[in-house]
Structure 1
Amino acid sequence: MDAEEQARALEEALPSLRRFARALCKDAADADDLVQATLERALAGWRGRREQALQPWLFAILYRRFLDECRRQARWSRWRQLFAAGGGAGDDHAPSPEQVHAGREQLAAFSRLPAEQRAVLVLVVVEGVGYREAAAALGIPVGTVMSRLARARARLRAFAEEPPAAGRNLRSVL
């Protein structure tokens, strides 16, 4: 594969990578940084890549980078705690306030899921990746993908059935 084909293949994978990174990171800037680091790692390791499909390979790189960053953040947070203890494009189709509220509730429920469940949910449900490909991308068995997906869906249903917490109801201000 020459450089032009390589660039085209990576460009086609970019929207999926961005969605996956955004679901994992919850922050657009962090997600963009993660995608950039993934592309850098992919380009550096392109020659060593086996004959596997490109997209699962990129998802695997991205997920591993995400896990590495989580571990790094956890280490730094422990150090900080230790030292702290010592010393719109247009209004044509604007959603209603109720729709905005419902969307925020759904995003809040999604963000309450563990990262492992969010990753599987995004790959299988949003990106349409098969169980085997998701398992290969995340480096886990297929059965684990299925159980994480089932647990993620069950938790989302449970979150939806929870009564609204005090102060989360919409108020009208006149």
Structure 2
Amino acid sequence: MASDQAIRAELSQHLARLWRYGLLLSRQRHVAEDLVQATCVRALERAGQYEPGTRMDRWLMSILHSIWINEVRARRVRQGQGTVDTDNALSFDGEHVAQTHVLASQVIRRVDALPEAQRETVFLAYVEGLSYREVAEVLQVPIGTVMSRLAAARVKLAEYPPLQSVPNPSSGERR
């Protein structure tokens, strides 16, 4: 059993990852912040359930996912406030026309167009780097479902034309 102090000490290391996951699920900054706060509260309340030696980030993401499924998502769907435009939900630092940001924006839009279950699975596996087994545990689905969702997402993403680079203003060439 982990102590409340041990949980508090490690919790701050995972806040950014939790917020990204909360933003992916809710698609709203303020809801993502609420999800992270609720996750932290629940983690502290249930510190005795955390098994030392296991990955805390996976445990925290499971808590966040459970909160989203059980509370926030159901309320938002009933109210019809479940989505927002990706361009409004995510902002990039620096010049928006910079090549990496344009490509990232294209990738985000394509992944954002995936069905919710595939989008969550892609995020956890490819952005957060969780193993298939860890993704299955976070989402509380069989590992075969994770593999199936990722395969379907890859097929869907492969249907898109190649990403478009930005023309170089001085030469007219694409970078």
TM-score, structure 1 normalization = 0.73
Cα gap change, 1:12 to 1:76, in 2 (>3 Å): same
Query: What secondary structure is seen at the aligned counterpart in 2 of 1:161?
Result: coil
CA displacement, residues 55-94 of structure 1 (integer Å, 9 cap, x when unaligned):
22111111122223222222334xxxxxxxxxx9985xx3
Q: Structure 1 residue 2: deviation in Å?
A: 4.1
Could you say what the CA RMSD is over the residues aligned between the two structures, in angstroms? 3.2
Verify the 8 A CA contact 2:4 2:47 in the aligned structure 1: no
Greater RCO structure (CA 8 Å; 6+ sep): 1
Match of 2:23 in 1: 22
How far, CA to CA, are the matches of 2:75 and 2:27 in structure 1? 17
Spell out the pairing of 1:1-174 with structure 2 (5 A cutoff): 1-50=2-51, 52-68=54-70, 69-77=72-80, 94-96=95-97, 100-158=101-159, 160-161=160-161
Alignment CA distance shift 1:152-1:48 (3 Å): same
Q: TM-score, normalization: structure 2?
A: 0.72
Residue number in structure 2 paired with 1:85: none
Larger radius of gyration: 1
- What stretches of structure 2 of length at least 5 have no aligned partner? 81-90, 163-175
In proportion to residue count, which structure has more helix? 1
Identity of aligned residues (%): 31
The answer for unaligned runs of 5 or more in structure 1 is: 78-87, 163-174
- How many residues matched? 154
